[in-house]
Amino acid sequence: MAFVKKINISSEAKSMGIDFYVPFLIILIAILYTCFSPDLESLQYISRIIEFVVCPMAAWWSVYLFLNHSVDKDKTAELTPNSSPSILSYGLIRVTSFFLIFLAAFFALLISITLRYPYPYISLFNLTIIYAPQTVLYCYLGFFLMVLSRNIAIPLFILLTYIAVKYWTTRDIPIYNVMSFSIDMQLYPRIILLAVKNIALALALAVAGHFILVRRKKI
């Protein structure tokens, strides 16, 4: 596991500059909105904020981590073709490390919701099943789109367009729904199925993104 030590999270964060703090700022705003929300009717608005703003932010670092890769398209030539640990460290492990940081902050938001609306109204378990798989999918979707396109504008445009279309049309457009469109934050069979599909799709995108990097090392 020596390749894991090659990841310098502090250095990576500094290289992003102020952009590194954007997900934290978004989550903080969501926490403040939750804490000062007046009643149970606010849950539908909190849910929209989570699904259309906070969850997609899981892709933020996945995209920005490869900004140098998009500028210098020969960046990964430094990694030898047969150096799978180096490829993993540069790609999936680096992305996953930052995602875990995002997930910790994200759970602070979920916990704030359960404190504002304690059981039996809201359950942390329910919130985890509803929203955490969405963050996983956005994280690896951002990773996949970035390594595929090597142009930061493309994944950002695709994600913003998808979110905007889904926000204004909900389920009217026949495109895969990452969102649960839950207004009461309760678990239903369709939401559990959606969580499973989101995780499965996220794993497929993670593997696909990794193999794109592997293939480019061999060219």
Tell me how crowded residue 131 is: count the other CB atoms within 10 A of its CB.
Answer: 24
**String of DSSP letters for 132-165:** HHHHHHHHHHHHHHHHHH--THHHHHHHHHHHHH
The conformation of residue 117, written as its DSSP 8-state character, comes to S
Domain membership flag for residue 154: yes
Domain membership flag for residue 12: no
Q: Measure the CA–CA gap between 117 and 34, rounded to whole angstroms.
A: 9
Q: Is 218 helix (H, G, I), strand (E, B) or coil?
A: helix
The per-residue pLDDT for 155 is: 94
Domain membership flag for residue 205: yes
- The answer to whether the predicted template modeling score (pTM) of the entire model surpasses 0.85 is yes
Q: Is the pLDDT assigned to residue 199 strictly greater than 70?
A: yes
CB 146 within 8 A of CB 62: yes
Domain membership flag for residue 111: yes
The per-residue pLDDT for 171 is: 67
Tell me phi and psi for residue 65, to 5 degrees.
Answer: -65, -25
Domain membership flag for residue 3: no
Domain membership flag for residue 11: no
- Computed over every residue of the chain, the mean pLDDT equals 86
The conformation of residue 184, written as its DSSP 8-state character, comes to S
138-155: pLDDT as tens digits: 999 999 999 999 899 999
- Which residue range is the domain that position 158 belongs to? 18-218
The per-residue pLDDT for 16 is: 87
Domain membership flag for residue 98: yes
Domain membership flag for residue 9: no
Q: Is the pLDDT assigned to residue 9 strictly greater than 50?
A: yes
Total structural domains within the chain = 1
